[in-house]
Amino acid sequence: MSLPRCRTLFLSALVAALMAGCGVWAPTRPAGPVTLAAPADAAVPVTAGSGTVEIGGRPVDVQVPPGYDAADQVPLLVLLHGFGSDAARVDAQLALRAVAAERGVLYAVPEGSLGPDGRRFWNATDACCGRDRGAVDDSAYLELVLRTLLATYTVDPDHVAVVGYSNGDFMAYRTACDHADLVSVVVSLAGAMPADDAACAPTAPVRVVQAHGTDDRVIDPGGGRREGHAYPSALRSVTAWARLDGCAAEPVTGSSPRDLWATVPGPETTVLAWAGCTAGTRVELWSIAGAGHAPEPTAAFADAVLDAVLDTSPDVAPDIASDVA
C-alpha cells in the first residue's frame, strides 16, 4: 500500500477539515488513551458501559470487557449480521461474545436497516444486498458507529476489527475499503469482495481473513452472480487484498488443518496465508472443507477469530512464521 494510515484521531471540530491532510502514519500505537469527540448526530451513551445504545437512529448492542479502564486502550470488534438476520441471531450463531469478554475486547453488534419485506440488510455491494431496498448509505452509517465507539471508549486503533457473516461479510469488506483509516482488521465469513477491483481503494493496510465453506451454495466460494451482479471467488477476494496490502506474491499453506466447524468431523479447515505485507499485516483464506453457508462453528472458531483480531494467531503455520521472520 502506498498510502499511509493516519493513527491520530482528531477532535470532531477538526475532522472534516483535516481528514484530507492526514499525516504520515507511524506503525506504532499512540502513547496514552485515544480520544475523539462524538459526531454531532450520534446518540452517545452517558457512561461508557455495556448495554444497547442508539447510534444514527439504530440500536447497537455494546459489551464492555470486564475490568475496563478508560486509561487503557482496548481492542474493538464490530460484528455484522447476514441478510434477513439481526444482531441477536448472529451473536448467537458465531458465539464471539464470551471470548471477546475473556480476552478484553470491546464488542459491538449493530443492526442493519429494515427492508420493505421486513428483513434486515446491509447495502454493501451490487451483488449483496441493497437492490430495491432504498438508498441506504451503510458505509457512512458504519463510519458513524465506529467514530461514536471511538469517542465513547478508549480503543486501540491498531486493533479495530469488523467481522461479518454473509451479507455482513460483503459489508465488512466495503467498510474496510471505504474506511481503512478506522478499520485495521476484517474477518469475513461466507461473503466476497466487490467484483470491480476499482471499487476498493483503502487508504491503509488492513489485516484480512476470509473464511468460506467449500460446499456453500448461497455464496459460492468459486464466485458467481446475485441480483444480476457478479461477485468474485473467495480466492480472488483475498488475492485482491494481498495485492492491496503489498504482500508477497505467493501464499504459504498452513502445515496443520484446524477443527473449526462442528458438523464436519475432524480438522477440516486449511489456511492459505500471504505474509510480508505492508506494516506487518497478513491476509489469510480459511477453506472449510464440507461446510455450507449456515454458521456451525466449533468453540475453536471463536478463539481463531479473536486471534486474528488481536494478531496473536499462534499456529497459522510454522512455514509462515519463518517466512515473516
Q: What pLDDT is attached to residue 105?
A: 98
Residue 7 scores a pLDDT above 70: no
Query: Percent of the chain beyond pLDDT 90?
Result: 71
Q: CB 315: neighbour CB atoms within 10 A?
A: 14
Kindly indicate the confidence band of residue 3, based on its pLDDT and cuts at 50, 70 and 90.
very low
SS (H, E, C) the chain: CCCCCCCCCCCHHHHHHHHHHCCCCCCCCCCCCCCCCCCCCCCCCCCCCCEEEEECCEEEEEECCCCCCCCCCEEEEEEECCCCCCHHHHHHHHCCHHHHHHCCCEEEEECCEECCCCCEECCCECCEECCCCCCCCHHHHHHHHHHHHHHHCCEEEEEEEEEEECHHHHHHHHHHHHCCCCCCEEEEECCCCCCCHHHCCCCCCCEEEEEEECCCCCCCCCCEEECCEEECCHHHHHHHHHHHCCCCCCCEECCCCECCECCCCCCCEEEEEECCCHHHCCEEEEEECCCCCCCCECHHHHHHHHHHHHCCCCCCCHHHHHHHC
Dist CA 288 CA 223 (whole Å): 16
Q: What residue segments make up the domains of the chain, in order of their start?
A: 32-324
Q: What pLDDT is attached to residue 127?
A: 86
What mean pLDDT is predicted for residues 170-182? 97
Kindly indicate the confidence band of residue 4, based on its pLDDT and cuts at 50, 70 and 90.
very low
What pTM value is reported for the model? 0.84
Pick the CATH number of 32-324 from 3.40.50.300, 3.40.50.720, 3.40.50.1820, 3.40.1710.10: 3.40.50.1820
Q: What pLDDT is attached to residue 262?
A: 96
Q: For 110, phi and psi rounded to 5 degrees?
A: -85, 165
Q: Which residue has the higher pLDDT, 102 or 325?
A: 102
What mean pLDDT is predicted for residues 85-96? 97
Residue 12 burial by Cβ neighbours in a 10 Å radius (0-12, 13-18, 19+): middle
User: How far is the first Cα of the chain from the last one, in angstroms, to the nearest whole number?
Assistant: 20
Give per-residue pLDDT as tens, 122-170.
999 888 987 666 678 999 999 999 999 999 999 999 999 999 999 999 9
Residue 9 scores a pLDDT above 50: no
